[in-house]
A and B are shown apart, each in its own frame.
Chain A
Amino acid sequence: MNPNRNPSEERLLAYAAGSLSPPEAVVVAAHLALRPANDAWVHRLQAVGGEFLEEAAPVALTADALSHAMALIETDAGEARPPAPLNDMPELPEPLRRYALGPWRWIGPGIRARDVHAPRDGACRVILLKIDPGRETPRHTHGGVELTCVLSGSYATETERFDVGDLEEADTDVLHQPRVVSDIPCLCVVALDGEIQLDGWLGRLMQPFVRL
């Protein structure tokens, strides 16, 4: 397993624990749907969490907590919220199917993006990015891109290739200009972090594409 195309152990641990930010959790969930070995590992980490829960020193509840709980289940009408409808992209992995999607927007030649209406965390949000074969994504540092998971097609950086299911983590401020190397468009789900506002980020994307 190449460490650079998988989530770090720390990120998988945070995902299993439920402490990862929701936008990042959405991208990791997509990755896990495409990588059963990592999904099985997360499942095992949840069993570690279960073990910690089991051995936690209990903290007493208030005196009427049990009777309150019993009253709750007597009057419970089940889940208040029906599941959200499926969106219009059956090609997406299951964890992404029930998020509403914004319209496709033209970002630059051969590049389109649409919002995934998943929970935000501050200004951190999730988008789908679709880039045509042979196109380079706009040159960028990783300041604004937190996590990327490839859903179809492939792209390559100067040193590495990312195929379906691979996850790229933001690591450094290294200037970075991935190019789509598949003969079909490359579709990615991306968690963008809060430091770059949408307008500014779009503005950067629309800058002329300069080859490295």
Chain B
Amino acid sequence: MSADGPLQDAFAHDRLIEAVALRRDREAFAQLFSHYAPRLKAWLIKSGAPPAAAEDFAQDAMLTVWRKADLFDARKARAATWIFTIARNRRLDMLRRDARPLPMPEIALAETESLRPDDILSASQDAERIRDALSRLKPDQVEVLRLAFFLDSPHSEIARRLDLPLGTVKSRIRNAMIKLRLILEPSEEAPR
């Protein structure tokens, strides 16, 4: 994220997806691709995929962005969240170790999740709160959360990479999640 204006950047990406949706704007798509494809590739490489497979994944996810752009609603999710969710669904599909050629309905499509009416905060406010919340976690908590998002088999892989006992990793993730919930949902019941 550039230092001069992360929020402006995020909004610019929202506008680009909308341009793809409204006008099939190829220049807008190229800009989105240039920003997000290298990040999607980085994600897959971090999760252990070979570079070529990681690049295929990025291409595939971005093609889905092109196809589904008209389902994007900037009021419900900002660009990064929406693209993350698309990639998350593709990744879940890839993790499936089931070779049956059955029609496999996708699980929890991005658009149904992002169109829920009960989102109270606007996506941009939410993004700001999430950045703030992450800045209030300890660095080692942010680190395990990041790894939990990017690795395929989070706990054991995180333990291996950080050279920590599995129990330590589990309790660190749990504590990070409890703190995150306290910051983001302070009015909710006590965290679990």
6 A-B pairs in the complex with CB atoms less than 8 angstroms apart? A1-B192, A44-B184, A48-B149, A61-B41, A98-B105, A120-B100
Give CA–CA (A19, B105) in the complex, Å: 17
Known contacts: A52-B146, A61-B58. The answer to whether A69 contacts B37 by CB under 8 A is yes
Most buried by B among A37, A55, A56: A56
CB–CB B39/A53 < 8 A: yes
Known contacts: A32-B108, A60-B38. The answer to whether A18 contacts B66 by CB under 8 A is no
Looking at the complex, which one of A29, A46, A58, A70 makes contact with B81 (CB distance below 8 Å)?
A: A46
Query: Across the interface, which residues of B come within 8 angstroms of A68, CB to CB?
Result: 59
Tally of contact residues, B, Cβ under 8 A: 87
CB–CB A84/B105 < 8 A: yes
Question: How many A-B contacts at CB < 8 Å in the complex?
Answer: 218
Give CA–CA (A32, B91) in the complex, Å: 20
Give CA–CA (A79, B68) in the complex, Å: 9
CB–CB B102/A117 < 8 A: yes
Which residue numbers of A lie inside 8 Å of B, CB to CB?
Answer: 1, 3, 6, 8-10, 13-22, 25-26, 29, 32, 36-37, 39-44, 46-62, 65-66, 68-70, 72-73, 76, 78-79, 81, 83-84, 94-95, 98-100, 117-122
CB–CB A61/B55 < 8 A: yes
Query: Across the interface, which residues of B come within 8 angstroms of A60, CB to CB?
Result: 38
Quick check: is B113 within 8 A (CB to CB) of the other chain? Answer: yes
**Residue in chain B with minimal CB distance to A40:** B118
CB–CB A72/B180 < 8 A: no
Query: Across the interface, which residues of A come within 8 angstroms of B98, CB to CB?
Result: 22, 119-121
CB–CB A10/B26 < 8 A: no
Main secondary structure of the interface of B (DSSP, over half): helix
Known contacts: A22-B96, A56-B43, A119-B98. The answer to whether A46 contacts B85 by CB under 8 A is yes
CB–CB B116/A50 < 8 A: no
Give CA–CA (A41, B181) in the complex, Å: 9
Query: Across the interface, which residues of B come within 8 angstroms of A120, CB to CB?
Result: 96-98, 100
Which residue numbers of B lie inside 8 Å of A, CB to CB?
Answer: 1, 6, 10, 26, 29-30, 33-34, 36-43, 45-46, 51, 54-55, 58-59, 62-63, 66-67, 77-85, 87-89, 91-92, 95-98, 100, 102-105, 107-108, 112-114, 116, 118-119, 123, 126-127, 130-131, 134, 145-146, 148-155, 170, 173-174, 177-178, 180-181, 184-185, 188-189, 191-192
Query: Across the interface, which residues of A come within 8 angstroms of B134, CB to CB?
Result: 48, 51
Query: Across the interface, which residues of B come within 8 angstroms of A22, CB to CB?
Result: 92, 95-96, 98, 107
CB–CB A47/B63 < 8 A: no
Query: Across the interface, which residues of B come within 8 angstroms of A95, CB to CB?
Result: 107-108
Q: A19-B152, A73-B63, A83-B105 are in contact. List 5 more A-B contacts (CB 8 A).
A: A16-B149, A47-B78, A50-B127, A54-B1, A72-B59
Main secondary structure of the interface of A (DSSP, over half): helix
CB–CB B97/A44 < 8 A: no
CB–CB A18/B43 < 8 A: no
Query: Across the interface, which residues of B come within 8 angstroms of A121, CB to CB?
Result: 95-98
Most buried by B among A19, A26, A117: A19
CB–CB B96/A119 < 8 A: yes
Min C-beta distance of B63 to chain A, whole Å: 6
Query: Across the interface, which residues of A come within 8 angstroms of B127, CB to CB?
Result: 47, 50-51
**Residue in chain B with minimal CB distance to A97:** B105
Query: Across the interface, which residues of B come within 8 angstroms of A36, CB to CB?
Result: 116, 118
Give CA–CA (A122, B95) in the complex, Å: 11
CB–CB A19/B154 < 8 A: yes
Give CA–CA (A48, B53) in the complex, Å: 25
